[in-house]
Each structure stands twice: as structure tokens, then as C-alpha cells.
Amino acid sequence: MISALRKMGAFEGGRTGWEQAMTATHPPTELRIEALQAPKPDDAEYQEDELRGPGADEVGRILRSLLRPPRREHS
């Protein structure tokens, strides 16, 4: 499967409308190949922070800043 994806990677940009339509519905070839490969020992260490969303404190801070009424400037 990986070999086939590498060969199909040549069409990633899509030279014709059909090729563009086919690649528009799929993730990039590199990500598809990576998903098929066995995980490396350090994958979790390097990806953990990237995959984790904001914590409850950070979400609360963001929401408070968005919901805070705008300050009026005195002239």
C-alpha cells in the first residue's frame, strides 16, 4: 500500500480536473503513508503537546476575554 501511495504521490497536485478532484477528498500522501507505518518509539513524546487541546483554565481565560464588554474610551 505504501509503495502504491508513493507512486500516486506524483499526481498529488493534480494535472487534470479529475486528478484534482480525487486528491481533494483525501489527506496528503505523506500523512497517509505515515498512518500506515509502524509508530516510532519517540512519536508519542513529540506529538503529545500538538494533539492536546487547551486545558480548562485556558478555555476559561479565552472565553472571558471574548465575553468581556469592550472598554469605552473617554474623550
DSSP-assigned letter for residue 28: -
For 69, the 3-state DSSP assignment is: coil
Residue 11 has pLDDT above 80, yes or no: no
Is the pTM higher than 0.85? The answer reads: no
Which tens digit of pLDDT belongs to each residue from 41-51?
A: 776 666 655 55
Closest-CA residue to 13 (of 21, 4, 3, 5): 21
Cell 480536473 found at: 17
